[in-house]
Structure 1
Amino acid sequence: MRVRLCLRLIAAAALAAAPGLSASAADPLLGLWKTASGETAAIDRCGSAVCITLKTGKHAGRQIGQLSGSAPDYTGEMTDPANEKTCSGSATLAGATLKLKGCVLKVLCRPQSWTRMEAGPYP
């Protein structure tokens, strides 16, 4: 009887934790990232895509990108918050590193590497 009760409690705890685990397991891109300039960026779901929003620095609160795809490769648009210019972008996830590239006319590209701070989802 005691064993069954313990198994039920373990199963209930696993089910309660599953929604949070499945969201981050579904897309490893979600979470907080340290940008090349040292700011914090949050990547979270926005509809069928993921949105990149700066959380710290001069442009905190500003959405700077929207990407779609699946791990490890994503494509979309990126905006330089300093000059409000938007270009095509891509991102490749490699462990705790996110390699981003913004391109104008697909030939003038500027790469950056970000480092994972915390996996999502987050409050």
Structure 2
Amino acid sequence: MMRVITLAIASWVCAGGMAMADPLLGTWQTEPDDGAFAHVAIAPCGANFCGTIERTFKEGAEYTSPNRGKTLVIDMAPQGDGKYTGQVWRPSNGKIYRGKIALDGDRMRLSGCVAGGLLCSTQTWARVN
């Protein structure tokens, strides 16, 4: 009987954890940048979130980029209401920028900013199903 109760509690805890999964988690497709785009997997990294390049595409065909496996979204901290702040790496120039994310369902607006956030370049990413 104790085993059944333990399994029931474990199932409830796991289901609650999945129900409370952060909407940022998952795989996202970037906009093309210099003719290439990527699928980026967003996962927990410590208390925040990071995104790693899983697959890369050029002119619509998958290819092996030297950027595969590198972290593009760095240490994004939840700010509430679907907003996150952290850093982003732009592979085309190798620079890291102050980053912001705003989620809207299966769309993500990702911004890389300079000058204290006054000048930003923004992409809209789509969730990959």
Q: How does 1:1-123 map to 2 (within 5 A)?
A: 12=8, 16=11, 19=14, 22-23=17-18, 25-37=20-32, 38-57=37-56, 58=65, 59-66=67-74, 67-69=76-78, 70-105=80-115, 106-118=117-129
TM-score (norm 1): 0.76
TM-score, length of structure 2 as denominator length: 0.72
Root mean square deviation of aligned Cα: 2.3
Counterpart of 1:44 in 2: which secondary structure? strand
* 3-state secondary structure, aligned to 1:65: strand
Q: Which has the higher contact order (CA 8 A, sep 6+)?
A: 1
- Unmatched runs of 5 consecutive residues or more in structure 1: 1-7, 119-123
- Runs of 4+ off more than 6 Å: none
Tell me the secondary structure at the aligned position of residue 24 of structure 2: coil
Structure 2 runs not aligned, ≥5 long: 57-64
Which structure shows the higher helix fraction?
A: 1
Q: Percent identity?
A: 31
